[in-house]
């Protein structure tokens, strides 16, 4: 079970920061050797502080039930705050697949709001298709664009909503590669950019000036047999500058990145102990 979960996280069979953290929680709870589980799960993906925070919390408090309850309540709060941003006749733009964004959109639909979603496909793994499939199953109108059509996808949008993998002490949000590109296009067209996330994606080690490592994946994901001499860059994530972010929607409220960081630090002394 443990090795399978670690392999599924590495191969992106389990993807998205929240799902990764939750799968790791289940695997840690089931594991007999907690230290081994901690070690293997912790290293499964580098740019995932939610995963690391959850594992650190479990090793300190060993209370997964309390954590599940907290996360269930927190999810509802994020859904409520996020759905509050969606109004009739909006075009909502999103990139990649964020379960947090999708839950918000499904709730807005339940509230009988009428809106359209523009999603970009997100090469090389096409997580945008997961987004599009889930939204269409929820009867939400969705149009998929190739990544290089991002300008078309964004120019008439009313709001951009993305997830987060990590948030650093200087207010940068790290999310799927392309996120800062899309946020820059959004800014160009006056489209507000909201990041929808649990606050535990904050990385406490960045307070001590450790850099958040950006995961680099196999070049084979992009080109299985490239000609000799062609170098390939395959960063999984990128940093979004705080100036491009209108607000971070999390269970502790809707805040500018700098306020979010100081609130998370205040509320989570255990992260630094
Ligand atoms: C997924 C991704 C998502 C965040 C947030 O990347 O960048 O936007 O993880 O997801 P990958 P969630 O597919 O490489 O894991 O809101 O579900 O936590």
Residues 36-75 pLDDT 10s: 999 999 999 999 999 999 999 999 999 999 999 999 999 9
Catalytic residue among 56, 165, 203, 243: 165
Q: State the burial class of residue 112 (Cβ atoms within 10 Å of its Cβ: 0-12, 13-18, 19+).
A: exposed
Average pLDDT over residues 84-107: 98
**What does the pLDDT read at residue 258?**
98
Residue the block writes with tokens 């007999």: 32
Binning pLDDT at 50, 70 and 90, where does residue 273 land? confident
Ligand 1 mean position, distance from CA 241 (Å) = 18
pLDDT of 179 higher than 80: yes
Question: pLDDT (tens digit, 9 = 90+) per residue, 118-153?
Answer: 999 999 999 999 999 999 999 999 999 999 999 999
Ligand 1 mean position, distance from CA 178 (Å) = 12
Strands ordered across the beta sheet of 159-162: 141-145, 115-120, 90-95, 159-162, 193-196, 247-250, 253-255
Q: What ranges make up the beta strands (E) of the chain?
A: 90-95, 115-120, 141-145, 159-162, 166-167, 173-176, 193-196, 237-240, 247-250, 253-255
DSSP symbol at 44: S
Is residue 165 flagged as an active site residue?
Answer: yes
C-beta of 12 in contact with ligand 1 (< 6 A): yes
Please list, in sequence order, all residues whose beta carbon lies within 8 angstroms of the beta carbon of residue 233, skipping any fewer than 6 positions away: 216
Backbone CA torsion sign across 16, 22, 25, 26: negative
Residue 97 tokens read as: 């697949």
**What does the pLDDT read at residue 180?**
98
pLDDT of 89 higher than 90: yes
Ligand 1 mean position, distance from CA 14 (Å) = 10
C-beta of 179 in contact with ligand 1 (< 6 A): no
- The model carries a pTM of 0.97
Question: pLDDT (tens digit, 9 = 90+) per residue, 189-207?
Answer: 999 999 999 999 999 999 9
Ligand 1 mean position, distance from CA 166 (Å) = 10
C-beta of 79 in contact with ligand 1 (< 6 A): no
Q: What percent of the chain has pLDDT over 90?
A: 98
C-beta of 127 in contact with ligand 1 (< 6 A): yes
In order of their start, the domains of the chain are 2-70 (1.20.120.420), 73-210+233-272 (3.40.50.10470)
């Amino acid at each position: 079970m443990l090795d399978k979960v670690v392999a599924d996280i590495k191969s992106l069979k389990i993807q998205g920061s929240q799902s990764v953290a939750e799968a790791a929680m289940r695997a840690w709870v089931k594991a007999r050797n907690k230290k081994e589980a901690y070690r293997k799960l912790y290293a499964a993906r580098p740019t995932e502080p939610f995963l690391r925070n959850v594992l650190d919390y479990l090793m300190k408090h060993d209370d997964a039930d309390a954590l599940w309850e907290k996360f269930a309540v927190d999810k509802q709060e994020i859904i409520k705050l996020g759905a509050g941003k969606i109004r009739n006749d909006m075009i909502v733009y999103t990139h990649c697949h964020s379960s947090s964004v999708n839950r918000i959109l499904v709730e807005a639909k339940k509230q009988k709001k009428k809106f359209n979603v523009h999603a970009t496909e997100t090469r090389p793994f096409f997580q945008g298709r997961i987004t599009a499939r889930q939204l269409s199953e929820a009867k939400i109108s969705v149009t998929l664009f190739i990544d290089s059509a991002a300008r078309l996808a964004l120019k008439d949008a009313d709001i951009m909503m993305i997830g987060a993998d990590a948030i650093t002490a200087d207010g940068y949000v790290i999310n799927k590669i392309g996120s800062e590109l899309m946020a820059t296009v959004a800014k160009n067209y006056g489209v507000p950019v909201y990041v929808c996330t649990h606050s535990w994606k904050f990385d406490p080690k960045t307070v001590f000036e450790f850099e958040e490592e950006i995961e680099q994946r196999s070049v084979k994901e992009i080109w299985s047999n490239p000609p000799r001499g062609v170098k390939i860059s395959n960063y999984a994530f990128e940093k979004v500058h705080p100036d491009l972010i209108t607000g971070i929607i999390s269970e502790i409220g809707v805040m500018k990145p700098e306020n979010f960081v100081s609130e998370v630090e205040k509320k989570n002394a255990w992260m630094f102990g």
